[in-house]
Structure 1
Amino acid sequence: MLKIKNINVSYGGIKALQDVSLEVPEGKVVTLIGANGAGKSTLLKSIAGIVTPDSGSIEFLGNNIAGNKVYKTVGEGIALVPEGRKVFTDLTVAENLKIGSFLRNDKKEIEKDMEWIYSLFPRLKERSWQYAGTLSGGEQQMLAVGRALMSRPKLMMMDEPSLGLAPLVVQDIFSIIKEVNKSGVTILLIEQNANMALKTADLAYVLETGKIVLSGSGKDLLENESVKEAYLGKKKNK
């Protein structure tokens, strides 16, 4: 579905991504783990059209989308749930969701999708006329996911969805990721909680200082000794 080949991105002469190549197969959950500053968010921004790569290609369903404007990327079927949620705090829950469908004009289908979002997130339905800024962190994350789903994406990218959330809420968020994936949406996930991410992912990549250094199934990386030591807080047996 998504094929990234040798993309390079630099900021003011500093290389953020160096010859990064990866694939996201249709229908799968793919995760990208790595330390802060490894280039994970830069990769998602490059796919979304927020950042233009210096070189390389980003193919989505056979089309090279590298350098596309953000709205074109959304139109192609890619949605981003940004780090920090970025909900519109002065708008209601319902208004935030409707913004997610800004490229659509099928009113009846939009209403159906709103109901589907509310069935996924009953708390959002209870708070549909509440201002988004008054929601808890977990509820705002649910709203950010719901808003992304309103564009009917084929691929949903998520940047640190569990950041700053209580452990019980994190469990809820990962349950939702699985549920959304079951509905037919492919997921590309960046997550600091490597343990949860690898348990959820079909396929995983490790990014270090702008380079892919390891890849495999989520299960394989969960059992990899160097991954355990670097990202799961487990020391190698001597």
Structure 2
Amino acid sequence: MIKIDNLIVSYGGIEALKGVSLEVPSGKIVTLVGANGAGKSTTLKSIVGLVKPKSGNIDYEGTDLTKLNTELMVKKGIALVPEGRKVFADLTVLENLKIGAYSRTDKSGIAEDLEKVYSLFPRLKERTWQTAGTLSGGEQQMLAIGRALMSRPKLIMMDEPSLGLAPIIVKELFGIIKKINEDGMTVLLIEQNANAALKIADIGYIMETGKITLSGSGQELLNNDEIKKAYLGESL
């Protein structure tokens, strides 16, 4: 679905990405794991056109995304759940969800997808007229994911969905991400929480200082002693 080849991104002469190459096959959960500042979010921002690479290619179903405007990404079937949720605090849950479908005109399909989101996140249905700014952090993250799903994407990308959330909420969220994937959606997950991400990932990439240093199945990386020591808090 997406193939990134030798991506180089610079900020003021400093290379944030140093020749990153990775693949996100259709129908899979792919996670990019690494410490803060490793280049994970820059990779994601490059995909959606928020950062222009110095060189390299990002191929999405035959289209070079580096030549596409960000606003066209949604029409191509790409949705982003940004870091920090970025919900519209003064709007209701329902209004936030409807904004996710701004590029669509199929009213019956929108209504159908709204019910799908509510079935995934029953708490959002209970709070449909509540303003988003009054929701808990976990509920805001659910809303951010629900809003992205309302565009009916083929690929959903999530930037640090577990950040700042209690472990019980993280477990619930990752269960829902797994279900979204089982329903046929491709997922690209950017995470510092290596344990939670690799448990549900089909493919994992480990990123350090702008480079991919290791890749494999989620289970292979979970069982890797170096990964255990560096990211899972386990001594050898």
- Whether the 8 Å contact between 1:81 and 1:159 is mirrored in structure 2 is yes
CA distance in 2, matches of 1:231, 1:219: 14
Q: What secondary structure sits across from 1:99 in the alignment? A: helix
Structure 1: which 4+ aligned runs deviate by more than 4 Å?
Answer: none
Alignment of structure 1 residues 201-216 onto 2, 5 Å = 201-216=201-216
Q: Which amino acid aligns with 2:7?
A: I
Q: Conserved in 2, the CA contact under 8 Å of 1:53 and 1:67? A: no
What does 1:5-154 align with in structure 2 at a 5 Å threshold? 5-154=5-154
> Aligned-pair RMSD on alpha carbons?
0.7
Separation in structure 2 between the aligned mates of residue 67 and residue 36 of structure 1, nearest angstrom: 28
TM-score where L is the length of structure 2: 0.98
C-alpha deviation, 1:193, in angstroms: 1.1
Matched letter for residue 63 of structure 2 = N
The DSSP-based 3-state class of the residue aligned with 1:148 is helix
- Quote the residue 1:217 is aligned against: 217
CA drift at 1:133? 0.1
Q: Could you say which residue in structure 2 is the equivalent of 1:164?
A: 164
> In the TM superposition, what whole-angstrom CA distance separates every residue of 1:66-125 from its partner, at most 9, and x where no partner exists?
142221111111111011100000100001001111111111111111111011111101
Partner SS for 2:74: helix
Q: Is the 8 A contact 1:100 1:151 kept in 2?
A: yes
CA–CA distance in structure 2, aligned partners of residues 180 and 223 of structure 1: 25
SS at match of 2:75: helix
Could you tell me how far apart the structure 1 residues matched to 2:227 and 2:172 are? 25
Deviations 1:138-180 (A, max 9, x none): 0000000000001111110011111111111011100110110
2:200 is aligned to 200
Amino acid at match of 2:151: S
Q: Secondary structure at the match of 1:128?
A: coil
State the 1:63 CA deviation.
Answer: 1.1
Alignment partners' CA distance in 1, 2:203 and 2:213: 14
Matches of 1:210 and 1:60 in 2, distance apart? 21
Structure 2: segments with no counterpart, 5+ residues: none
Query: Alpha-carbon deviations, 1:43-72, whole Å to 9, x = none?
Result: 011111111111111011111111422211
1:9-46 deviation line (CA, Å, top 9, x unaligned): 11111101011000001100000101110000000111
Cα distance in 1 for residues equivalent to 2:137 and 2:67: 32
Count of residue correspondences: 236
CA contact (8 A) 1:27 1:186 kept: yes
- The answer to whether residue 231 in structure 2 is matched with residue 231 in structure 1 is yes
